[in-house]
Amino acid sequence: MPLHTLLTRARLLPVSVISDADKSLPTMDHGIHRIAGTGTIAGRAVTAHSDGDLLSVLEGLELAQPGDVLVVDASTNPTVAVAGGLFATEAHRKGLSAIIVDGLVRDLDTLRPLGFTVYARGTCPRSGPATTPPRTQVPIRCGGVNVHPGTLVLADDDGVLVTTPERLTALIDTAEAIHLHEETALAKLTDGGSLFSSMNFRTHRENVLNGTPSKLGFIA
């Protein structure tokens, strides 16, 4: 499947559904949260390792192509912002999907109305220097997970998940089926139906109590 098609399908799903399709997929810790933007993003990682210096982030921003996600490990210096309004506006102009920072950002008054997706641990008005030789397109850690150049990054309001094209291809059909079942169950609930009429909870509970192999799921 072409990567463009795969990512387009992934963007139509909540990240929680993709996680449900393969619970072994690594997710960034909850400290990495959405600062600005909406919806589900999905793209290839362009990585930057920053000790609080801006040159790595700028070089990563220059290297990134439309649809990419700039992922920055700035965890070693949680005292300065390494991205803000200017960087996000340039990323938006270039057509990037998002900037994700294990560290701090700034310029919320610019970020929020821009409509571009930014994740970070928090904000700080002070920015870092631009004096350290840049390190980009190297393996990094972000939010407690390994991110390599080209790793697929998916994120929404629930958080950030990373995977590979091969694993996403293997699970995308299952994820779409889960999403359809959840949407059907939600529609029944909205109409006054019971959640338990849409799930095999009682049968699964009995199987668990009896030591019988079983799996909780939706009833078609």
Cβ atoms of 87 and 103 within 8 Å: the answer is no
Does 107 appear as a known binding residue?
Answer: yes
DSSP-assigned states of every residue in the chain:
--HHHHHHHHHTS-HHHHHHH-TTS-B--TTSEEEE--S-EEEEEEEEE-SS-SHHHHHHHHH--TT-EEEEE-TT-TTSBS--HHHHHHHHHHT--EEEEESEE--HHHHHHHT-EEEESEE-S-B--S-SPPEESS-EEETTEEE-TT-EEEEETTEEEEE-HHHHHHHHHHHHHHHHHHHHHHHHHHTT--GGGSB-HHHHHHHHHHT------B--
Does 106 appear as a known binding residue?
Answer: yes
Residue 49 CB partners (closer than 8 Å, separation 6+):
56, 72, 73, 135, 136, 138, 140
- CA-to-CA distance for 76 and 48, rounded, in angstroms? 13
Q: Which two tokens stand for residue 211?
A: 């030591």
Q: Specify binding-site residues for Mg(2+).
A: 107
Q: Specify binding-site residues for substrate.
A: 106
Q: Specify binding-site residues.
A: 106-107
